[in-house]
Amino acid sequence: MTDSEKPGLAIMTSGGDSAGMNPAVKCAADYAAQRGYAPFLIYDGLKGLVADRIFPATAERLSGIIHKGGTVLRSSRSPEFFDIEVRKKAYENLKARGIGKLIVIGGDGSFRALNQFYSDFQIPFAGIPATIDNDIAGTDYCLGVDTALNVIRQSIDSIRDTASSFSRAFVVEVMGRHCGYLALTSALTCGAEICLIPEIEYDLPSIGARVSAEIAEGRGYIIAVVAEGTKMAEYVTRYINDSIGMEARLTVLGHVQRGGSPTVYDRMMAYQFANAAVDALEAGETNSIMVYRDGSYGRIPIAEVAHRKYKMDPALLRLAVPLAC
């Protein structure tokens, strides 16, 4: 296929937003144009694909987005996309513009939706993993994680100032769904005394005895990082206050973790993932997910993502065990 015969290539973001999506959009569109494709942008995720919110990736639409957090293409949840008639409408929208390839920047749910779309209409897609939860099987890294970790780090550093000033304990709940990666990494790099995540068994009486001994030796405050997936943040706050005897406060960081200008690391990862996605489609691959494993970039079939559960690095988990007992 010559450049003039290449189909249009559309780029979309789907699922939860994360810093790094905008750099990935820009890099994918720019590289696709370099490779001879006509790049398009799909706004509002799967809903936009169905509602025909599809526009050429002009310089005006791509200019000034690389430093922005979230996604300028916006996102949505679209359970109706699993209706075949709805997907048929999306296909007709693409066909009308000569679009024959898709890049989706999002999580495993978005990848599964596009895989079904491929099964129905043979529109190949490439997936770029983007979620601050870092819980997509097959890749060690997802776009947005480094930015989220830096937001958490800055928040905990600020909280520590108040904790030390008033000799208090602060419990910080961080996001991650059922994955404790953000909580674990933040606890280790911020010097927390306590860390609770779903992947590790914790022993509150043992934690209480350890921290109480440290207080007796002069510790003036406590920082505890708790993953939202444990549903233990409020309980830990009460436990520290009532059983350990130190005044405790709970801070739920919430969606602030998804925002912020992408870090240099996330911007570079976006560049690598975006180029790899275009290359995968040009090579004739139909449903590949871009991955970063053991320091190398690669791609794997959607089946390896859809049918596997993400597991955190055992070596990383071992580092957190002392904070959970």
What are the pLDDT tens digits along the chain (325 aa)? 445 578 899 999 999 999 999 999 999 999 999 999 999 999 999 999 999 999 999 999 999 999 999 999 999 888 889 899 999 999 999 999 999 999 999 999 999 999 999 999 999 999 999 999 999 999 999 999 999 999 999 999 999 999 999 999 999 999 999 999 999 999 999 999 999 999 999 999 999 999 999 999 999 999 999 999 999 999 999 999 999 999 999 999 999 999 999 999 999 999 999 999 999 999 999 999 999 999 999 999 998 898 888 999 999 999 999 999 9
pLDDT at 4: 54
State yes or no: is 203 an active-site residue.
no
Within the chain, how many helices (H) and strands (E) appear?
A: 12, 11
pLDDT at 306: 82
CB 6, CB 36: distance < 8 Å = yes
pLDDT at 1: 45
For the chain, domain boundaries: 3-144+262-309, 145-259
Tokens found for residue 207: 């934690």
**222-227 sheet: strands from edge to edge:** 194-196, 222-227, 169-174, 248-252
CB 32, CB 24: distance < 8 Å = no
When the candidates are 3.40.50.12160, 3.40.50.450, 1.10.10.10, 3.60.20.30, the CATH number that belongs to 3-144+262-309 is 3.40.50.450
pLDDT at 78: 82
Eight-class DSSP state of 263: P
Which candidate in 30, 44, 108, 133 is catalytic? 133
- From residue 306, give the alpha-carbon distance in Å to each of 60, 167, 221: 36, 47, 43
User: Quick count: other Cβ atoms within 10 Å of Cβ 154?
Assistant: 12
CATH architecture of 145-259: 3-Layer(aba) Sandwich (3.40)
